[in-house]
Amino acid sequence: RNIRENYLHDFIQVQHINWNCLHKLSHNKVHGVIKADTIIFSDCVYNEDGAIALFNAICAILKRKGNVVGVLPDFRVGLDLFEKMMETNNFEPTVIPHGRLPKGEDFICSGGGGKNYRLIHWIDNRPEE
């Protein structure tokens, strides 16, 4: 919906990927499509199993030197594990501070507010295989 509302369909492709079928992904492609330059997720970790599944999905579908942008609540079971796995595996995090655009320049976004959430950008610095 956000892509449609912001007329970004020529620039952004969205895919629903079953995290439990990652073994079907090839080295350079996901379902026949070249791996992602950027992965964006929001509020995906609810326990440690989910943290591991999200981390494995990111590693499977992200190009080397790619970007991950995540919206995380301040506290939830599994988040510490997820963030530790990202840092341990050479994903460099940067916390993006909350900000406001001048009135009339706001980006249209569906959904609720960001109170008590963190926006984090990771750069993939994993070594080439």
What CATH number is attached to the domain comprising 53? 3.40.50.150
Segment 92-102, tens digit of pLDDT: 999 988 766 66
3 lies in a domain?
no
What confidence score (pLDDT) does residue 101 get?
60
Q: Identify the CA nearest to 39 among candidates 24, 23, 10, 19.
A: 19
- C-alpha span between 58 and 125 (Å, rounded): 13
Angle at 107 between CA 68 and CA 91, to 5 degrees: 10
110 lies in a domain?
yes
Segment 66-79, tens digit of pLDDT: 999 998 888 889 99
pTM of the model: 0.75
Q: Within the chain, which residues score under 70 in pLDDT?
A: 19-34, 99-115
Range of the domain at 64: 33-124
25 lies in a domain?
no
Number of folded domains that form the chain: 1
